[in-house]
Structure 1
Amino acid sequence: MKVHPKAFHVRELNYIIRSAKKQDAQSLSELRLQIDGETENMDRERGESYIDAAGFKHLINEDTISPKNLFLVCETDSKIVGFSRCEGNPLKRSSHKVEFGVCVLKDFWGYSIGKNLLKESILWSDTNDIKKMTLSVLESNKNAITLYKNNGFEIEGLLKKDKLLSDGKFYNTIIMGRIKDQEF
């Protein structure tokens, strides 16, 4: 599904959040590879589960067609610096929910890009008959956990010793969810 672009100005940085386009595919492939190497907050190490431009074109096409998917990018100075996705499920028993994921280049942390990608995704979700948003976050990513809690997400579960990081230690993954209407 597509949304209208929205402009933001945060700490002297101007950026736009908009729906992904097929022309973004190569930039998204390079961006994801870079972000995976910048932080251990992601599920992958750099180069793992690599998605090339053709793969991103396919994702963008599917997400544009599907009323239960949303693919957003953050662009500043004609450069994509972050993106998020909401991915729905065609199975009837799960069709009321989407899974949210986000990533932003480390040089652009602190400009509320992740926060605004999340807020735009929540707005889309709330206006498109999505009853629940879910996500997973590493227990050590305290800023993200706080952001999600401040935007209506609650901790629903814990995957114990779920990720092995470079320090040789295992970390838990927190499962969070946001339910739009408690009465559904």
Structure 2
Amino acid sequence: MKIIPISYHQNGLRYTIRCAEEKDADQLSQIRLKIDGETSFFDRNPGEGMLTPNDFKQLIHTDLQGFNRLFLLAETETGQIIAFSRCEGSSLKRLMHKVEFGIGVLKDYWGYKVGPKLLQASLTWATENKMAKMTLSVIETNEKAIKLYKRFGFEVEGILKKDKLLEDGEYYSTIIMSRFLSE
């Protein structure tokens, strides 16, 4: 699916949120790897679950065709991709009513409201396309993200205890959150 691009100006940074296109695949592959190395909030260590540019091209193509899929990115005026988000729905009839949301923002661009803008664009799209529910998972230590999601109406649905083993040798829980969009 697609959205109309939206431009923002925040703390001196101008960026646009738009749908990913196949031409973005090389940058997305590099940025995903970089983001994985900047934080322990994701499931992957740097280099794990690597997506090549061709993998991204296929993913983008699939997302553009699906009624319950959306792949967004945030891009600066100079064409640098600084963040991305995805809503991924299922092709199974019993699960088609919901999408799972995920997001990644380069650390240099934290504090520019890029994450909230990607989330808002995704929620607007999901509502307009009559999705009933949006879900996400977040590690318990990502307090800023949890606060953001709650501000946008997400509620905790469950906790997967000791779900992730991080580099510090400790186990951390994953919080499952959701928001109902139509009832």
Please classify the TM superposition score into its range, dividing by the shorter chain length.
over 0.9
Give SS of 1:41's match: coil
Deviation at 1:180, TM superposition (A): 1.0
What is the distance in 1 between the residues matched to 2:167 and 2:112?
A: 27
- Specify every segment of 5 or more residues in structure 2 that has no aligned partner in the other structure, as ranges: none
Deviation at 1:166, TM superposition (A): 1.5
- Other-structure match for 2:37: 37
What is the distance in 2 between the residues matched to 1:94 and 1:78?
A: 36
> Does 2:66 correspond to 1:66?
yes
What is the distance in 1 between the residues matched to 2:100 and 2:79?
A: 28
- Other-structure match for 2:157: 156
What is the distance in 2 between the residues matched to 1:180 and 1:28?
A: 29
Q: Which portions of structure 1, spanning 4 or more consecutive aligned residues, are displaced by more than 6 angstroms?
A: none
Question: How many residue pairs end up in the alignment?
Answer: 182
- Other-structure match for 2:95: 94
Deviation at 1:75, TM superposition (A): 0.1
Deviation at 1:138, TM superposition (A): 0.2
Deviation at 1:2, TM superposition (A): 0.8
Give SS of 2:49's match: coil
Deviation at 1:41, TM superposition (A): 0.4
- Specify every segment of 5 or more residues in structure 1 that has no aligned partner in the other structure, as ranges: none
1:148-173 CA-to-partner distances (Å, cap 9, x unmatched) read: 00001000000000011111110000
Structure 1 length normalisation: TM-score? 0.98
- Other-structure match for 1:53: 53
1:105-148 CA-to-partner distances (Å, cap 9, x unmatched) read: 00000001011000000000000010000000000000000000
Percent identical: 53
- Other-structure match for 1:139: 140
1:6-44 CA-to-partner distances (Å, cap 9, x unmatched) read: 000111110000000000000000000000011000110
- Other-structure match for 1:117: 118
- Other-structure match for 2:80: 79
